[in-house]
Amino acid sequence: MHVSGLTKSFGPRTLFSGVSFRLGPGDRLAVAGRNGAGKTTLLRILAGAEHADAGSVAIPRGERVALHDQAPDAGGTGSVRDYVEEGLAHAREAESAIAALEARMAAGDHGPATLSAYERALADLDAAGGYHWRSWVERVTRGLGLTGDHLDRPLASLSGGELTRASLARALAGRPQVLLLDEPTNHLDLEAMEWLEGIVRDLRAAVVIVSHDRWFLESTATAVLDLSNGRARLWPMRYSAFRIARAEDDAQQVAAADRRREEMERLERFVTRWRAGTRARQAKSRAKRLGRLEPIVAPTREKALSFGFPRTERPGRVVLEADGLRVEVAGRVLVDDAGFTIERGQRVAVIGPNGAGKTTMIETLLGRREVAAGRVSIGHKVLPSYFSQHAREYDGRRTPAEIVKAGTSLTEAEARTLLGRFLFPRDVADRAVEALSGGERRRLALVELVAEGGNLLVLDEPTNHLDVESREALEDALLAYDGTVVLVSHDRALIDVVATHTLALEGGTAVMRAGGYADLVEVREATAQGGGNTATAVIRPAAGERRARGPSSGRLAREVSRLESRIAGLEADLTGVEAEVAGASEAGDVETVILLGERHRALQHDLSSAMAEWEERAATLAESP
C-alpha cells in the first residue's frame, strides 16, 4: 500500500493534510490522535468507503482490503456464519475454478491457457488458506468467542458487541493483504485480546490500526502515524517509544520557538534604538537579518483532561469482605463459595471473560444485587461511589452546570471549576445535556463521581469513550487517590498501572492475587507450565476429575507439538508442488500438471485434516487444568 498526500476537510475544518506512508507485508501502523482528529475517516478512505479531497491510495492489483468498522452495519440477512464467510468468496471461487479446470483437463483440454488458469487457481486458493480455509474460519471465530451456537444464529439477532466481533472475524477470516482495524479490541475480553494480538502479529499483511488500547498498540504496531492539528507525521518505532520521542520533540520545538522569539525581539530592539543613531549601519544590517527570520511555531496539543479526587474520610482497615459468596443471575451460578478481603488503600481490578459476571459481582458487593448465598460486608465508615458502564439517565433539558450543582454541595464557582478540569468550558457547561456526545456524558458522570467524595470508588469500564490522554489523566488521578478502588476494565494498561491486586473470576469462583496485569500474565504462564506458587495458582480440580476430563496436559502438549511439525512439513511440500506445477505448465507437460494437481489436492486434504486435529487438541490443551 502506497499512500501519498491525502487531505480531508469538513467545511472550513481540515482534518488532516499531506498524509503519506508506504506499508508492505508484515508492517503494522498505529494511527494516533485525539478524538476527532480524523482517524476513522482515514481508515475509511484507505478502504475506499470515503473519498479524500486530495492525494492517492495505491494498492497492488489483486490485493484484497478488509475494513473492520467499530460500528459495523447491522443490516444484512442470513446467519452469522454467512456474514463471516462473505470475506472468503475468493476461496470458494478458487475451489470451483480448480474443479472445473480439472474436469476440462480430464476431458482432453490441455491447452496452455487452461494450464495457466489452473496454476493461477491453485495460487489463489493457497493465498486464501488452501483447502483448510474452513478450519481457519473456525479458529478465528472461536478465538473471538463466537461459538457454533453464535454462528448459526440470524445476523439480525446479534447484540452490538456480538456484531462487532462478527465484523472483526469477517475481516480476519478473509486473509486480506491490507487489513484496516478500527477499535478492534472493543467488546473483547482479556483472553480474546491476547489471542487477537498474536494473530495480528503473525499475519503477513499490511495492517493499519486505530485503537485506544495502549497495550494492544504496544504489542502489535511497528510504526505510528500521528494526526495532530491537521498535520500528520510518521514515527518509525513502537508506540511507547513514539510517546517518549514525541514529548521530547515537542519540548525541543517549544525551546526553539522561545529562542527564535527572543532573538527576533532582541534584533527589533536594536534596530528601533539605533536606526537613526551612530550605529545606523549595524541597525540596517540587523534589520535585514530580522527580515529573513521567520517565527518558529511551537507545537500545540489540545487541552487534556486533568483532575484529582479530594481527600476522603479514613475508613476502617477492612473495606469489603466476602465469605462463602455465591453470585447468581436468573438461576445461573456465576461465582460460588468465594472468600476474599479488600483492605483500605488497595486498588483491585476485577477481571474475567465476557459473561463471567464482573459487573454482577461488583453490584453484589455494593448491595445493589441480592446475595444468593454467603455474606458480603462493607467496613466501618466506608462511603462508596459507583461509576456504572451504562450511561447515567439525565434530564436532557438540564445543563452540566445545573446537574453538578444540584447533585453536590459545590458552589457555582466550584462546580464550574470542576467542570473546566473535565474539559467543559462555559459554553458546553451551559448546553443542554441532550446535545452532548456519549464521551461528554461519560465525563459528566466522572465529574459527579469526583464531587461525591466517596472513599471507595467502584468503577465499571470508566475509560469507555476516553482518548489516550484522558485515560492517562484518569490513571494519574487514581494513583493519587487516598481511598480504595475496585475496578472493572478491559484496558490492560490501566489495570497494570493502577491495580495493586486482581480479583479474577475463574473456575466458578474468585481468586485474589497481588499485582497488576503483567503480574497476572506471569502467574498464568507459570501455572500453565506447571510452576508458580501454589498460594497464587489457579484453583485446580482433584486428580480424579482431571483424569475424567481426558488426557494429561503433558500428553496433549506433545500431540500439539507433533501436529505443528506435521503441518509445517505439509505446507513446505505444498510450496514445492506449486513450484513444480508452474514449471510443468511453462513446459507444456500436461501429464505432469495433472499428476501434480492430484498430489496438490491430496496434500491439501492432509493439511486440512491436520489443521482440524490441531485445532481440537490445542483447544483442549487451553481448557485443561
> Per residue in 214-243, pLDDT tens?
999 999 999 999 998 888 999 999 999 998
Chain centroid, CA 422 distance in Å: 24
How many whole angstroms separate alpha carbon 578 and alpha carbon 269? 78
- 91-105, 127-141, 265-279, 450-464: range with lowest mean pLDDT: 127-141
**Distance from the Cα of residue 210 to its chain's centroid:** 8
Residue 454 has φ and ψ, to the nearest 5°, of -65, 155
508 close to 361: Cβ distance less than 8 angstroms: no
pLDDT in tens, 169-222: 999 988 889 999 999 998 888 889 999 999 999 888 999 999 999 999 999 999
φ, ψ of residue 60 in degrees (nearest 5): -55, 145
Kindly list the distances between the CA atom of residue 323 and the CA atoms of 351, 427, 582, in Å, as whole numbers in the listed order: 19, 50, 69
pLDDT-derived band at 348 (thresholds 50, 70, 90) equals: very high
What DSSP designation does 51 have? -
Indicate the length of the chain as a whole number: 625
Beta pairing, strands 206-210 & 28-32:
parallel
- Dihedral, 28, 34, 37, 42 alpha carbons, nearest 10: 20
pLDDT of residue 552: 47
The edge-to-edge listing of strands for the beta sheet with 373-378 is 332-343, 318-329, 373-378
Instruction: List the 231-235 sheet strands across, edge first.
Output: 65-68, 178-182, 206-210, 28-32, 223-228, 231-235
**What confidence score (pLDDT) does residue 601 get?**
74
β-pair partners for 408? none
CA nearest 166: which of 49, 64, 87? 87
pLDDT tens digits for range 23-81: 999 999 999 988 778 999 999 999 999 999 999 999 998 788 999 998 787 666 788 88
**389-416 residue pLDDT tens:** 876 778 888 999 988 888 777 888 888 9
Name the average pLDDT for the chain.
84
For the stretch 438-495, pLDDT in tens is 778 888 888 888 888 899 999 999 988 788 888 888 898 899 999 999 999 999 999 9
Binned at pLDDT 50, 70 and 90, residue 551 comes out as: very low
**Cut 0.85: pTM above it:** no
Q: What's the pLDDT at 8? A: 93
Q: Residue 534's pLDDT is what?
A: 35
DSSP 528-544: HTT-S-TTTSPP---HH
- Which of helix, strand or coil describes residue 399? coil
Q: What is the mean pLDDT of residues 118-135?
A: 74
Give percent of the chain above pLDDT 70. Answer: 90
Per the CB < 8 A criterion, the answer to whether 300 and 348 are in contact is no
Residue 61 has what pLDDT?
85
The pair phi, psi for residue 471, each rounded to 5°, is -65, -40
